Structure 1
């Protein structure tokens, strides 16, 4: 069963999903990665993961807390 979503948070909040593949427009990558990691998901993200150092630090902090 393959379901479409309009809001990525619906997928991140699902308890039956362990990992996500982020293939959205670049400006969403860091935000979605941090939220997914904070929700306990494993993440595979297309390049670029982030656009700047600030976003990179936010991703690293989220992963370090996991």
Structure 2
């Protein structure tokens, strides 16, 4: 068993793991920010509906 090779392999595995964790963390941050923006949009739509209750409540369709 080559100790130097084993050490290099373990170091590479740790580096790959650290990069993967960092990418998942960034992805979680982006998802969290997107969710917060969606909640803000829903709240803004509710506010608009309370100001103009007759607008946007129905859709006219013709077939």
- The bucket for the TM-score relative to the shorter chain is under 0.3
Q: TM-score, normalised by structure 2?
A: 0.24
Q: Which structure has greater helix proportion?
A: 2
TM-score (ref. length: structure 1): 0.23
Larger-Rg structure:
2
More contact order relative to length (CA 8 Å, sep ≥ 6): 1
Richer in strand (by share) = 1
